[in-house]
Amino acid sequence: MNPQTAKQTDWKLDPVLMMFAALAIAVVMTWLVPSGKFARESNGLVKPGTYSTVNKDISRSALLPRVVEGAGLKPASPAAILTAIPAGMVKAASLIFMITALGGMFGVLRTTGTLEVSIDRLLAFTGGSTGLLTTLLMIAISVGSTFLGLISEYLLIIPLFLALSKRLGLQPMFGFAIVTVSAKIGYIASVANPVILMVAQPIAGLPIFSGFVFRLVLWVVFMAVGIFYVMRLAREPAVLVTQPHATPLSGRHTAIIAILGTAVVTLVYCAAERDWRDSEFAAFYLLMALLIAAVGGLAPRRAVHCLVDGMRSMMLAGFLVGMAKGVEVILQNGQILDTIVNQLATWASHLPRAMIAMALVFIEMILGLLIPSGSAKAAISMPILVPVAHVAGISGQTTVLAYLMGNGLINMFAPTSGMLLAYLATADISYGKWLRYSLPLFLILTVLALVAVYVAVAIGY
């Protein structure tokens, strides 16, 4: 490798370096942005009109890594670039363990050879048609996210789709895009997404899941664009590496496929009805690994080695999730998130009526970079933005739509999104490569989103 090539490689968008940069920017923001806070209800929702500034000691003493108890609020010390990482990992511990447990399960699954057999059967079902295969899979995945709020659960199937890409003779980005684009578009439209709508719509004084017809139309339009965009990665006709019926389906393979199918149904049910979260998912993935190893006939020692190897492969994903959470820790400790929300709402209130709804989309995008959690962002921003929109004559339904659009769009490539980083680490795809691929689609969908909220205002949605 010549020096010029080595220099270019050094400056690629490495996700760890990007997160260090994000941590540094968060520290600087605590020095430049005034601190303030809203009063909050007992359920954590902010009270509109209660914003007040908080005195902050901006002096050389604030540069010290430790803050003396009772000394008052200070900006983040430069040392927070490092200390926020373990703090973030502690806060995201359950998610990190879920990711590593998932990796362990797939380490065991790959050893059984079931993935390859499943791909053969899938290709046989569609006759090897890339177009039909892509359309059916993307619709199925997006239905899960837009109607059920599935997102972390799809980490489970990313290795399967990478294997599918390889089987078709296509680049890994094709399989990764099938999952990620479908899931993200599902969240953008959120036709009946309980994870988002059960928080956002009550704040706006709306019945949960109301207004779903307009969002359903948007989902169909966005999905058509997404499918067309992903299909640009495919070669027509696809070049199969082997014939669809090359590998016979053994009894062990059939049993493992049945276990996986049951697992997916169990995850969906327990997430919706039993309020399962990351800790329960992690335990469930470990149980799945044990069952797959037993049914697959793996010796205990080999099964444990496969489990550990799989968990090791997800260490980077877990570390990135902790770093992303560290950014949020710095901003929260500096008490500047409420200030940012208040300033953005004030700015939007001075715009012409036709522009306010579109401005709300961009506001939610900005907040999405600072507050990756969709439900947490709704709890902070919606109580402030709904009154602003109401004064301008914009309905609560349209305000919720703007929130959904902004939240879903920015999470397509937000470097502070722990789940996106986990997706990328699972697929071993660099953030820079994903950004270059997804940015044109993001711009197209952003234009469509702005048109959608403009139409919503015009028709009184």
DSSP readout, 275-294?
---HHHHHHHHHHHHHHHHH
Helix 158-168 vs helix 114-126: angle between axes, to the nearest 10 degrees?
60
Helices (H), 149-250: 158-168, 172-189, 194-203, 212-231
Share the mean pLDDT of the chain.
84
Three-state SS at 36: strand
Burial 52-89 (b: 16+ CB within 10 A, else e): eeeebeeeeebeeeebeeeeeebbbbeebbebbbebbb
Please tell me which residue, 245 or 51, carries the higher pLDDT value.
51
pLDDT digits (tens, 9 = 90+) for 439-455: 999 999 999 999 999 99
Closest to 240 (Cα-Cα) out of 119, 105, 59: 119
Instruction: Give dist(CA 46, CA 42) in Å, integer.
Output: 9
Q: What pLDDT, on the 0 to 100 scale, is given for residue 70?
A: 45
H helices, E strands: number in the chain: 20, 2
Q: Which two tokens stand for residue 163?
A: 């294997």
The one-letter amino acid code at 102 reads: L
Within a 10 A sphere around the Cβ of 186, how many other Cβ atoms?
Answer: 30
Q: Which two tokens stand for residue 421?
A: 């980083």
Confidence of residue 12 (pLDDT cuts 50, 70, 90): low
Instruction: Give dist(CA 134, CA 56) in Å, integer.
Output: 54
Please tell me which residue, 119 or 227, carries the higher pLDDT value.
227
Instruction: Give dist(CA 269, CA 357) in Å, integer.
Output: 35
CA 218 → CA 228, 274, 453, distances in Å? 16, 30, 11
Confidence of residue 247 (pLDDT cuts 50, 70, 90): low
Indicate if the pLDDT at residue 20 is higher than 60.
Answer: yes
The one-letter amino acid code at 137 reads: L
Helix 93-112 vs helix 418-427: angle between axes, to the nearest 10 degrees?
20
Pairing outcome for strands 52-53 and 36-37: antiparallel
Question: If you ran DSSP here, which 8-state letter would residue 217 be given?
Answer: H
Confidence of residue 431 (pLDDT cuts 50, 70, 90): confident
Instruction: Give dist(CA 429, CA 431) in Å, integer.
Output: 7
Confidence of residue 128 (pLDDT cuts 50, 70, 90): low
Interval 365-380 mean pLDDT: 83
Question: Percent of the chain, pLDDT > 90?
Answer: 34
Indicate if the pLDDT at residue 16 is higher than 90.
Answer: no
pTM: 0.80
Closest to 382 (Cα-Cα) out of 36, 48, 41: 48
Interval 396-416 mean pLDDT: 92
Q: Rounded to the nearest 5 degrees, what angle is found at the Cα of 200, between the Cα atoms of 369 and 194?
A: 100
Interval 98-122 mean pLDDT: 83
pLDDT digits (tens, 9 = 90+) for 271-298: 777 878 888 988 998 999 999 999 999 9
Indicate if the pLDDT at residue 47 is higher than 90.
Answer: no
Stated length of the chain: 461
Q: Rounded to the nearest 5 degrees, what angle is found at the Cα of 272, between the Cα atoms of 269 and 278?
A: 95
Instruction: Give dist(CA 136, CA 153) in Å, integer.
Output: 19
Instruction: Give dist(CA 434, CA 424) in Å, integer.
Output: 8
Q: Rounded to the nearest 5 degrees, what angle is found at the Cα of 407, between the Cα atoms of 228 and 16?
A: 90
Instruction: Please check whether residue 189 is in contact with residue 368, taking contact to mean a CB–CB distance below 8 angstroms.
Output: no
Interval 94-104 mean pLDDT: 87
Indicate if the pLDDT at residue 217 is higher than 70.
Answer: yes
Instruction: Give dist(CA 7, CA 59) in Å, integer.
Output: 39
Indicate if the pLDDT at residue 156 is higher than 50.
Answer: yes
pLDDT digits (tens, 9 = 90+) for 185-196: 999 999 988 888
First to last CA, the chain: 58
Please tell me which residue, 122 or 213, carries the higher pLDDT value.
213
Question: If you ran DSSP here, which 8-state letter would residue 33 be given?
Answer: S
